[in-house]
Amino acid sequence: MAIGDLLRTVAAPAMRRMGFGRSELVARWPEIVGPALAQHTTPMTLRYPPGSRARGVLDIATDRAQAAAVRAEIPELIARINERFGYPAVAHVKICVRR
């Protein structure tokens, strides 16, 4: 078993508690959103409407200096995530500014 697979297996329960039923979003964040955006963002939680696993709200953390630039990338970010998973997993992104 590759180390990445092992880490995903071990981290899966914690990821589910944070709303990341698909831990691939966290594990492959740089690959999904691209290196430039990944350098300035961290996925925090993914919340779905009751009884659903689609059209969720993704909370991401970023620095105050990057918030406006990240906000401008939200439509592309949502498109990349949903393309990766093959269904509308994320409908909205909420930016949380790190202190």
Q: What is the pLDDT of residues 63-89, one digit of tens each?
A: 999 999 999 999 999 999 999 989 999
Q: Dihedral sign, CA of 25, 88, 96, 63?
A: positive
Number of domains making up the chain = 1
Query: Cα–Cα distance between 82 and 89 in angstroms, integer?
Result: 6
Which of the four pLDDT bands, split at 50, 70 and 90, describes residue 8?
Answer: low
Which strand (E) or helix (H) includes residue 29? helix 29-33
Query: Cα–Cα distance between 22 and 19 in angstroms, integer?
Result: 8
Tens-digit pLDDT profile for residues 22-31: 577 888 899 9
65: Cβ contacts below 8 Å, ≥ 6 apart: none
- The boundaries of the domain holding residue 35 are 3-97
Give Dmax over CA atoms of the chain in angstroms. 41
pLDDT mean across residues, the chain: 85
CATH number at residue 36: 3.30.300
